[in-house]
């Protein structure tokens, strides 16, 4: 019998409750790959005429576990970001996502983050990758892609570098590509990738 969204959510919830996050994330990523291999799940979740955007498929308030379906428009490159103290698991259902992991090259005490790409790879259909707390990464979609993202707390503002001491967030309205602190509104220096 094909693996279902309900089974995935129940088993992932159990893993988050029973094991440390570092052990639970690879288990959930493996289960997500299994779910993505179910053609019925993919057909029920996505269609060719869906516009770009995200939809909530599941939320467990006790573990703050979300399953989101994203239709990513082609020719789109995201900004480097982390999910703060939360986590994210990406899995592709169609096409691919070009992933980049970034390392900070300057001290975290400095107001701006200078980043260097440390790893680049591609997630194809059925492939998944888990990112624990604080892992800085970015996504790119050369073609329209169908992606499932499993995450903790959802930030409704935008993406940016999230450090332990402050949340810096990119504002799409800021033409100079600056970052602002979500909690206080203070502006931060632009991220520099080297």
Taking the C-alpha atoms of residue 89 and residue 51, their distance in angstroms, rounded to an integer, is 22
Would the pLDDT of 187 be above 70? Answer: no
Contact status, residue 32 vs residue 65, Cβ threshold 8 Å: no
Q: Which CATH number belongs to the domain containing residue 125 in this structure?
A: 2.60.120.10
Would the pLDDT of 66 be above 60? Answer: yes
Mean pLDDT score across all residues of the chain? 82
Mean local confidence (pLDDT), 111-128: 95
Mean local confidence (pLDDT), 67-71: 97
**pTM of the shown model:** 0.78
Tally of structural domains, the chain: 1
Taking the C-alpha atoms of residue 112 and residue 56, their distance in angstroms, rounded to an integer, is 33
Domain enclosing residue 60, as ranges:
5-157
Is residue 193 one of the residues assigned to a domain? no
Taking the C-alpha atoms of residue 131 and residue 150, their distance in angstroms, rounded to an integer, is 10
Is residue 85 one of the residues assigned to a domain? yes
- Res 85: pLDDT: 87
Assign 177 a pLDDT band (cuts: 50, 70, 90).
Answer: very low
Is residue 90 one of the residues assigned to a domain? yes
């Amino acid at each position: 019998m094909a693996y279902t969204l309900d089974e995935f959510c129940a088993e992932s919830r159990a893993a988050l409750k029973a094991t440390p996050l570092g052990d639970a994330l690879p288990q959930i990523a493996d289960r997500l790959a299994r779910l993505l291999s179910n053609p019925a799940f993919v057909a029920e979740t996505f269609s060719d005429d869906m516009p770009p955007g995200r939809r909530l498929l599941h939320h467990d308030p006790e573990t703050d576990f979300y399953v989101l379906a994203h239709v990513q428009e082609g020719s789109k490159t995201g900004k480097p970001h982390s999910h703060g103290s939360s986590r994210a698991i990406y899995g592709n259902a169609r096409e691919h996502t070009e992933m980049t992991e970034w390392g900070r090259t300057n001290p975290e005490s400095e107001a701006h983050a200078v980043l260097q790409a440390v790893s680049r790879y591609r997630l194809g259909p059925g492939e998944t990758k888990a990112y624990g707390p604080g892992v800085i990464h970015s996504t790119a979609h050369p073609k329209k892609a169908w992606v499932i993202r499993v995450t903790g707390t959802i930030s409704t503002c935008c993406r940016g570098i999230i450090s332990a001491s402050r949340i810096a967030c990119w504002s799409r309205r800021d033409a100079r590509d600056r970052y602002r602190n979500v909690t206080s509104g203070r502006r931060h220096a632009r991220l520099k990738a080297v």
